[in-house]
C-alpha cells in the first residue's frame, strides 16, 4: 500500500494546533456551563415554533437570554403577521426531554459550553443544543468527515475503511452519519482511533437497524451526537440538517463514491459553505457512483487517493494566521428595538421587496434605505411568523402561503 509508512507513524507534527483555526465570528463570549434553569430555557426556545438555529442566535443577541426571548416571541410573531398565538415549548415538555436525555445516558451540551465542538460552534446554523453519548472529548479533537454512497461498491467500502484507519493513525477523528455503505465503512475503520456519528433522529435511535452493533461500538469507544429529541425517528427532511453537523465538526470532508443526486454532495456543498476543505476520491466514468466525486474534482475539490493527499492540504492550514474561536458565545442584549411607528412603516416596504427567490439582507437595506437594525428587526418578526426563510450567505426569501 502506498501509505504503509503511516501505519506506525506518530501523529503529524503540531496537528493539535489546527484547532485554534477558525473564522472570526460576530458573537463573542467566554465559554461557560449553563445553569439548570438556563438550559431549560434554551431547550424551550429552540423547541418553540418557527425558531431554528439562526433565529435562536438572533434572539439571544437581541434579548440577551433565552428567558427574555421566550417572553418576546408572542409579540414578535403577531407583528410579523401570525394570526394565532405562536406555540411556545411548554416547560413540562422540556423537562421531560431533559429527563429522557439523562435516562439514556446522554449529555445535553449547549453551544456556549466548553464541551461543545469548537468548529461546529463557528458555523452560522450550529445547533444551540446537542445530545451526545460516549466519549464527549472526541468532539474537540481534529476531525475529518467521510461520506459516500449507501450502495457503495466493495472496493469503495474497503478504500473508505482503510483511509479512515490511516487518518486515525495520523491523529484525526473521523466523523460520518452511520448510514449504510461508505459511512459504515468509515466508522468501522476509525473505531480504534476515534469516530463521531451524527444522527438524523434521536441519539438513541438506531438507523439503519442493521447498524445496531456498530451503534453500540461507537457508544462505547466513540461519540454519537444529534440535535433531535431522544426517541425521534429519522425523516427525510432531517438528513440535510444532520449533514451540516457532519461537515461542521470537521476540518474537511472526503467524498467516496456518490451518484450525481447523492445526499453526500449536499454534505460537500455544506462543507464549502462552512469554509471547510473538500476532498474527493476519483472513480471510473463508467460507474454512476463516481459521478459525484469526479464532478467535485472538476470544480476544485482535492483529488484524493490516500491519507497523504488529505494531510498535505490540512498541513497548509498550519501556516495560516491562527485565531482562537469563541465557541459560539452570544453578545449581551442588542440596543433598544426600533419604535413601533418606525417598524410599522418599514414592514410593507420590506415585504414588497421579498419573494420566493433569496436576496441578501444588505440588498434589502440598500433598496429600502432603512437602518440595518430596523430591517433586522422586521425580518425577525417575519421569521417568527413563519413567513421568512433564511439561506446561506445572509440571504432571505418570503414563504408564499
The per-residue pLDDT string of the chain (401 residues; one tens digit each, 9 = 90 and over) reads 333 332 333 344 444 444 443 333 334 457 899 999 999 999 999 999 999 999 999 999 999 999 999 999 999 999 999 999 999 999 999 999 999 999 999 999 999 999 999 999 999 899 999 999 999 999 999 999 999 999 999 999 999 999 999 999 999 999 999 999 999 999 999 999 999 999 999 999 999 999 999 999 999 999 999 999 999 999 999 999 999 999 999 999 999 999 988 889 999 999 999 999 999 999 999 999 999 999 999 999 999 999 999 999 998 764 554 444 444 455 545 556 677 778 888 899 999 999 999 999 999 999 988 889 899 999 999 999 999 998 878 899 999 86
Sign of the C-alpha dihedral computed for residues 358, 360, 366 and 368 taken in this order: positive
Q: Cell numbers at residue 263, please? A: 445526499
Q: Cell numbers at residue 295, please? A: 464532478
In 3D space, the residue among 328, 393, 382, 325 whose CA is nearest the CA of residue 350 turns out to be 382
Q: What is the pLDDT of residue 267?
A: 93
Helices (H), 147-300: 154-169, 182-190, 212-221, 238-248, 263-273, 291-298
Neighbouring residues of 174: CB distance < 8 A, sequence distance ≥ 6? 143, 144, 145, 146, 164, 167, 168, 186, 187, 189, 190, 193, 194, 195, 196
CB burial readout 51-84, b (16+ within 10 A) else e: bebbbbbbbbbbbebbeebbeebeebbbbbbbee
Q: What is the pLDDT of residue 317?
A: 66
Fold of 340-398: Arc Repressor Mutant, subunit A (1.10.10)
User: What value, to the nearest 5°, has the Cα angle with vertex 143 and ends 217 and 202?
Assistant: 50
Q: Which residues pair with 388 in a beta bridge?
A: 398
Q: What is the pLDDT of residue 394?
A: 86
For the whole model, what pTM was predicted?
0.87
Q: What is the pLDDT of residue 271?
A: 92
Backbone angles phi and psi of 188, in degrees to 5:
-60, -45
* Rounded CA separation 3/169 (Å): 11
Q: Cell numbers at residue 76, please? A: 414578535
Domain ranges of the chain: 4-22+133-317, 36-114, 340-398
In 3D space, the residue among 235, 176, 240 whose CA is nearest the CA of residue 211 turns out to be 176
Q: Which residues pair with 176 in a beta bridge?
A: 197
Sign of the C-alpha dihedral computed for residues 135, 140, 142 and 148 taken in this order: positive
Q: Cell numbers at residue 45, please? A: 426556545
Is residue 108 classed exposed, middle or buried when 0-12, 13-18 and 19+ CB atoms within 10 A define those classes?
buried
CB burial readout 364-378, b (16+ within 10 A) else e: bbeebebeeebbbbb
Q: Cell numbers at residue 69, please? A: 426571548
Q: Decide: 196 and 135 in contact? Cβ < 8 Å.
A: no
Q: Decide: 181 and 210 in contact? Cβ < 8 Å.
A: no
Sign of the C-alpha dihedral computed for residues 90, 94, 95 and 99 taken in this order: positive
Secondary-structure class of domain 4-22+133-317 per CATH = alpha beta
Q: What is the pLDDT of residue 223?
A: 98
* Rounded CA separation 284/301 (Å): 17
Amino acid at each position: 500500500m502506498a501509505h504503509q509508512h503511516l501505519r506506525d507513524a506518530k501523529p503529524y507534527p503540531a496537528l493539535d494546533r489546527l484547532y485554534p483555526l477558525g473564522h472570526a465570528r460576530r458573537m463573542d463570549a467566554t465559554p461557560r456551563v449553563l445553569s439548570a434553569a438556563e438550559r431549560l430555557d434554551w431547550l424551550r426556545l429552540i423547541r418553540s415554533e418557527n425558531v431554528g438555529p439562526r433565529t435562536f442566535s438572533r434572539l439571544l443577541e437581541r434579548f440577551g437570554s433565552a428567558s427574555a426571548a421566550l417572553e418576546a416571541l408572542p409579540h414578535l410573531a403577531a407583528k410579523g403577521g401570525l394570526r394565532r398565538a405562536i406555540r411556545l415549548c411548554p416547560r413540562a415538555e422540556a423537562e421531560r426531554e431533559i429527563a429522557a436525555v439523562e435516562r439514556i445516558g446522554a449529555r445535553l451540551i449547549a453551544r456556549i459550553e466548553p464541551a461543545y465542538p469548537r468548529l461546529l460552534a463557528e458555523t452560522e446554523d450550529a445547533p444551540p443544543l446537542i445530545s451526545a453519548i460516549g466519549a464527549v472529548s472526541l468532539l474537540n479533537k481534529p476531525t475529518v468527515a467521510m461520506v459516500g454512497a449507501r450502495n457503495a461498491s466493495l472496493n469503495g467500502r474497503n478504500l473508505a475503511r482503510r483511509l479512515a484507519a490511516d487518518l486515525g493513525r495520523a491523529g484525526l477523528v473521523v466523523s460520518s452519519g452511520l448510514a449504510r455503505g461508505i459511512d459504515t465503512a468509515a466508522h468501522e475503520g476509525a473505531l480504534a482511533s476515534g469516530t463521531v456519528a451524527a444522527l438524523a433522529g434521536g441519539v438513541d435511535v438506531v438507523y439503519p437497524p442493521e447498524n445496531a452493533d456498530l451503534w453500540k461500538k461507537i457508544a462505547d469507544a466513540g461519540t454519537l451526537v444529534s440535535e433531535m429529541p431522544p426517541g425521534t425517528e429519522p425523516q427525510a427532511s432531517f438528513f440535510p440538517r444532520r449533514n451540516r453537523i457532519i461537515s461542521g465538526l470537521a476540518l474537511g470532508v472526503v467524498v467516496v463514491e456518490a451518484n450525481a443526486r447523492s445526499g453526500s454532495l449536499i454534505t460537500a456543498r455544506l462543507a464549502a459553505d462552512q469554509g471547510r476543505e473538500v476532498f474527493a476520491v476519483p472513480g471510473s466514468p463508467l460507474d454512476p457512483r463516481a459521478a459525484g466525486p469526479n464532478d467535485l474534482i472538476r470544480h476544485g475539490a482535492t483529488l484524493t487517493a490516500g491519507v497523504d493527499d488529505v494531510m498535505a492540504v490540512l498541513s497548509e492550514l498550519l501556516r495560516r494566521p491562527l485565531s482562537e474561536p469563541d465557541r459560539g458565545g452570544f453578545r449581551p442584549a442588542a440596543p433598544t428595538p426600533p419604535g413601533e411607528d418606525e417598524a410599522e412603516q418599514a414592514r410593507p416596504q420590506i415585504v414588497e421587496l421579498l419573494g420566493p427567490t433569496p436576496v441578501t439582507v444588505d440588498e434589502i437595506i440598500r433598496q429600502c434605505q432603512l437602518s440595518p437594525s430596523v430591517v433586522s428587526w422586521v425580518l425577525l418578526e417575519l421569521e417568527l411568523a413563519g413567513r421568512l426563510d433564511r439561506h446561506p450567505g445572509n440571504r432571505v426569501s418570503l414563504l408564499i402561503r
